[in-house]
Amino acid sequence: MKIYTGNGDGGFSTLSSSMKISKADERFDVLGCIDELVSFIANCRAIVACPILTKKLEDLQTKLFSIGSAITFPQKIEYLPTEKDIRYLEEQIDKTESSFERQKGFVLSAKCELSSRLDMARTVCRRLEREIIKLDRKLGVDGLIKKYVNRLSDYLYVLARRIDFDFENGDISKIVSNSQTFNENQNQDKDFERIYNEVIKRVANGRDITLEKARALAQKVREKAQEIGLKAVVAIANSQGRPILVEVMDDAYLVSFDVAVKKAYTSAAVKMSTAQLCQEIKKEGSLKGLETEPSLIFLGGGEPLKIGWEVVGAIGVSGGTAEQDSNLAHYASEVFKSL
């Protein structure tokens, strides 16, 4: 069976009856917003490793689908949210808000990816509320729907702020002991801590590479360089491009010291390999013009070091050809993932 029918090509569709309704009707605006919000919540779920939070987000999606049915079939009260549903959201809001010191006033969001996605869902929920009010003025909307959507936007907001707080502070033991935001009972605390730590590990929580890891990585790179007969300088920088470790192999070229440091800085600054940067410059794309920046270098051998999606440092290797340096730096970036 084909997914398209062609029946809506004229700008009309049907809802609870066979009567054709214009797609400009306010009901379709509300249904479209619900569809968007469900999708945005799914976008949040895609990067959540905690099964309890995943279940909560799934429940919100299910409830929103039901509200969509209530808009489509206003005569069927079984699709409406209940006072119990609203009380649950209010309890979650109160419980979450009391579990940390929420920043008051203007909030600059996007401290981490999950909170940013929750904020996007929250803004769509606010728009859904506005569309519901427009529809209410024209055709009437049950008060339970208006109340539920209003509380849902508040819940998404405090949940995003709690996630921001957790990621900014990185105190997992405090989260597990003091917060019930993602936990229903004490039996789930240990699983939550394990999963939450894994999330922190994957997104790096704004951390820089440690000196211990830098030393371990430099040793791996030296061993690999010796295997291929390369006498190199290895420079490792933090996420801001500042060198935290530079190791010089015996008989390495004197010039390689400055070149390796500059490669590490460049890779951290542009968050890509210096080999890739060279290609982007040649393409005359959005990075065209950077070749005049004296602080950067455009030779292969620099690679960003990542934990999950976040750049926590960079490595610069100098001692051989551009291709040899690039291969060794890429090797280092892969090794770093397992350190």
Q: Are residues 230 and 200 part of one domain?
A: no
**pLDDT per residue over 61-90, tens digit each?**
999 999 999 998 888 899 999 999 999 999
pLDDT tier for residue 94 given thresholds of 50, 70 and 90: very high
What values do phi and psi take at 115, rounded to 5? -65, -35
Could you give the 3-state DSSP secondary structure of residue 292? helix
pLDDT of residue 317: 96
**At CA 212, angle to CA 207 and CA 217, rounded to 5?**
95
**pLDDT per residue over 142-177, tens digit each?**
999 999 999 999 999 999 888 888 877 764 333 332
144 and 88 Cβ atoms separated by less than 8 Å: no
Q: Are residues 185 and 247 part of one domain?
A: no
Q: Are residues 218 and 123 part of one domain?
A: no
Residue 277, domain member (yes or no) = yes
**pLDDT per residue over 19-36, tens digit each?**
667 777 888 899 999 999
Which of 172, 206, 240 marks a domain boundary? 206
Q: Are residues 186 and 254 part of one domain?
A: no
Q: What does the pLDDT average to over 229-240?
A: 93
The three-state (H, E, C) secondary structure of 89-124, written as one string: HHHHHHHHHCCCCCCCCCCCCCCCHHHHHHHHHHHH
Which of 154, 189, 206 marks a domain boundary? 206
Which of 152, 185, 206 marks a domain boundary? 206
Pairing of strands 243-248, 12-13: unpaired
**Whole-angstrom Cα Rg for the chain:** 27
Q: Are residues 140 and 62 part of one domain?
A: yes
pLDDT of residue 172: 32
Q: Are residues 185 and 293 part of one domain?
A: no
Q: Are residues 164 and 23 part of one domain?
A: yes
Residue 4, domain member (yes or no) = no
Question: Which element (helix H / strand E) includes 244?
Answer: strand 243-248
Q: Are residues 202 and 146 part of one domain?
A: yes
**pLDDT per residue over 34-56, tens digit each?**
999 999 999 988 888 777 888 89
Full DSSP string of 152-172: HHHHHHHHHHHHHHHHHH--H
Question: What's the total number of domains in the chain?
Answer: 2
Full residue range of the structural domain in which residue 92 is found: 12-206
pLDDT of residue 192: 55
Predicted TM-score of the model (pTM): 0.49
Could you tell me the CATH number of the domain that includes residue 221? 3.30.450.150
Residue 5, domain member (yes or no) = no
Q: What percentage of the chain carries pLDDT values higher than 70?
A: 78
pLDDT tier for residue 308 given thresholds of 50, 70 and 90: confident
Residue 6, domain member (yes or no) = no
